[in-house]
Structures are given as structure tokens and as C-alpha cells.
Amino acid sequence: MGRPVAITGVGAITPLGMGARTLFERWAAGQVGIVDGEAPCSDFDPVAALGPKTARRTDRFAQFALAASDEALTDAGWLAPPDTDSESTPSGSPQPTPPGGAKSAPDSLTYASDRIGCVIGTGIGGIGTIETQQDVLRDRGAKRVSALSVPLLMSNAAAGTVAMRHSLQGQSFGVVSACAAGAHAIGTAVRMIQAGDADAVVTGGSEAALTGLARAGFASMGATSELGVSRPFDARRDGFIMGEGAGILVLEDLESATARGARVLAVVRGYGASSDAFHLTAPEPEGRGAVRAIEAALADAGVAPEELDYVNAHGTSTPLNDRAETLALKTALGDAAFGVPVSSTKSAIGHLLGAAGAVEAIATVLALRERLAPPTLGFAEREDGLDLDYVPDSARPLGNGRPAIGMSNSFGFGGHNAVLVLEAT
């Protein structure tokens, strides 16, 4: 285990509403953000959250990340709580604002700005912009394609605009690994701090792929649910539900965070990642790649399987994932797999693709802090071999007195596996 890394702030925009705690509280209460077979962030108003200028110059996936970053930095004590409406109305006397609509000067941050990184994952990036501008190209010609097309659609736009908004001048880039991107981003951020390349990193994942092309593509390959129901690990599951949103976390070197008197939400105990190198989309049927990632994360954490109090599963509600993930948990955790509550956030908000790993890490942090495992909603019918404790029906109290330890799994098309081990403080 390298230098311990603290999580000091979280923010999330999800189909259950605005805010990380809104997500956790509503999921734990059994609420579902899925409407008509899809999970949009209906409460999100980009102009209200970011102002008209920033909203126009960003794709929806970057908008989610920007709004979630404001919440996370405020939660970490890096930003003052927002003035009501000051960002959403044009100022009386126009003042130049930094690109990206920055609201915080470097000197309001806790660390030297060039010691703060920004790493944000996404599955696809600005696919809404790609589709809109493709329409413009076809219908109105090349000269009408927006000059903002590329800066909006590029997969690193969330990382770039979040860095600009908060003047984060350390390393900054996007991470692309389909549905593991959010977890890979966090793991990369942890390593950046452990290596001494940054004192703090704003990290997470973002996705806004509720578009015609993405919807049709996932449906054509049979990945999404025809029935329009997300019920991970249930025998009747028939595919995932597409969702959108973002999760952003503020990570700091634990020693530095403690020195500044920060409230530490959790510590990232371990990170492990691997590749199936097996198939473009299907998991290795025995979950061997996932096993290697889980084992690596536990070894990095110095945590034994029986010490885990909670597992936040990838749990997509696809026939293949939920079976392979169950097998992987049994192989990696041994008998301890049968004693630990395993639940899937996707039962409440669908699959947020490149945002999923980050949003689910945040849900895990809050579950560990509240000592409450939210349920796998919709789970009722068992399937042979899927015999773990999936926390059916309602949330379950966790624990045995000491700070709770949990694991969050993320697996992506392409065979990418990323696993985080987290401990509440």
C-alpha cells in the first residue's frame, strides 16, 4: 500500500436527482430513477447550474461533470457554498471570466494549483454533439458545422473544462474504458497522488449517451433490456437500462488532508485493474479477469476477503455480467463471498456507463459511512448459481463497530476491469 489517499468531497448528478447524498438516500429508501425503460437526469438544468455561456460551450456529459465538480469541491471545503443564482444570470457589468466559466481563483484552493490534477472518465464522450453536428453536416453542409464541435465532443472535454473551471493546473486528462472508466479514473488519480505527482486530484466519471445512435447500438447488440427493467442478479434479467449522469470525487493525500483539518469521508485502501483479453463485449465466462482485479485490489489494500462489510457490484442486469461477476466474487473471496452483502446501484439508476464506476464509488462511500447497504431493487427470482446475498427488498444495516470496508466493482466492454477498496473514516 502506498501513501494513503483520502476522499474529502463527493458530488453527483444522477437519475435520482441532484447531489451525491440525494442519490444515496433515495436509493437506500428504495426509489428508482428509471422512467419508460431509461434513466435520464430529468432534474438537471444546465443553464441554471452553469450559466448560459458555459452551458452553450459544453456537451451534456461535460455539463454533468462540471455541476458535480462544484458540489464535490464545495463538499471538500475548497469552494464556498454557492450564492443563489449568481452564476445563472448575466452580470450587470460584463466581466471577462476564465474559459470554462471558472468560478474559483487558484488562491481559494487548498493546494498549489499546479499540484492538483484532474482525471475524468467517460465511455463515449460528447456523442450528443457528434450526432447533432452530423445532422448539420448532412443537411446544411460542412460550412455550417459548429466551430465548437470538436471541443464539445472530445472525450477529454469533461477533464479539460473541470480543470479550467477550478483552475486545476496539475496533470489533467480523460480516461476511456467504457463502463469501467469512472473507476479507472479514480484508480489513476490515487496512483498520481501516491507517486507524488499531485497532492490532490479531482476525479470521477461522466456520461450523457441517451441519444439515438447509442440507444440503437446497444439495442442491436442485445445489451439493453427489451422489457425496460433493471433487476440485477434476478433470473428474469434481460439487459441493462441506459442511464446518464456524473460522479466527481475530491482525492487528497491523507496526511495533507488531515493537516489542513479536512473532514475525511473515506480512504481509498486499494485499487486493482486487469484485462480479460477475451472478447470485445462479453466477459470471460468464469470471470477470471474480474478475479484478478479483485485480488489485486484486496492485496493493494491489505484487506482479507472476510474483512469486507459490503460489495457494490457492477451488477448490470445483463445475463452474462451478473453470472460472471457472481462467479468472480466466489472465486476471489472464497467462503467470504456468501457472508457479505452485495448490491447493485444500477437497480435504482440504470447503467451510467463511463460514469457508473465513479457514481457507484460515491454510493459505496456513503453506504459505508451510514453503515447501510442499499438494496438490489427488483431482485426476487433466484437463478441457479447466483446464490450470493444480493440484499433484496430493502436496505440492510452493516457492520460490527469498526469503520466499514467495502469494494466497488466496474467492468467495461473491451474487457477492462477496475476495482476499488474503500474504508469509511
Partner 1 sequence: MPVAVTSEAVEEKVIETIVSFGGPEGEITRASTFEQLDVDSLDLVEIAQVIEEEFGIALKGDDVKDIKTVGEAIDLVVSRA
- Which of 22, 74, 97, 169 contacts partner 1 by CB under 8 A? 97
Closest approach of Cβ 71 to partner 1, in Å? 22
Residue 105 as a binder of partner 1 (CB under 8 A): the answer is: no
Residue 92 as a binder of partner 1 (CB under 8 A): the answer is: yes
- Name the residue with cell 472464497: 334
Q: Which grid cell is 275?
A: 484485462
CA distance 15 to 277: 32
Question: Which region, judged by CB under 8 A, interacts with partner 1, from 66-74, 93-101, 320-328, 350-358?
Answer: 93-101
Residue 134 as a binder of partner 1 (CB under 8 A): the answer is: no
Q: Please identify, using beta-carbon distances, which residue of 88 and 281 lies nearer to partner 1.
A: 88
Helix (H) or strand (E) holding 273: strand 266-275
Parallel, antiparallel, or unpaired for β 5-14 and 17-18?
A: antiparallel
Residue 275 as a binder of partner 1 (CB under 8 A): the answer is: no
CA distance 105 to 141: 41
| Pair 330, 337: CB distance under 8 Å | yes
CA distance 15 to 44: 9
CA distance 103 to 79: 9
Q: Please identify, using beta-carbon distances, which residue of 151 and 204 lies nearer to partner 1.
A: 151
| Number of residues assigned to the chain | 425
Residue 151 as a binder of partner 1 (CB under 8 A): the answer is: yes
- Which of 3, 146, 197, 221 contacts partner 1 by CB under 8 A? 146
Residue 141 as a binder of partner 1 (CB under 8 A): the answer is: no
Site mask for partner 1 (CB under 8 A), range 29-68, x = bound: ----------------------xxxxxxx-----------
Q: Which residues contact 32 (CB under 8 A, 6 or more apart)?
A: 16, 347, 348, 349, 377
Closest approach of Cβ 44 to partner 1, in Å? 18
- Which of 36, 85, 138, 143 contacts partner 1 by CB under 8 A? 143
Q: Is 219 helix (H, G, I), strand (E, B) or coil?
A: helix
Q: Interface with partner 1 by CB under 8 A: which residues? A: 51-57, 90-97, 99, 143-144, 146-148, 151
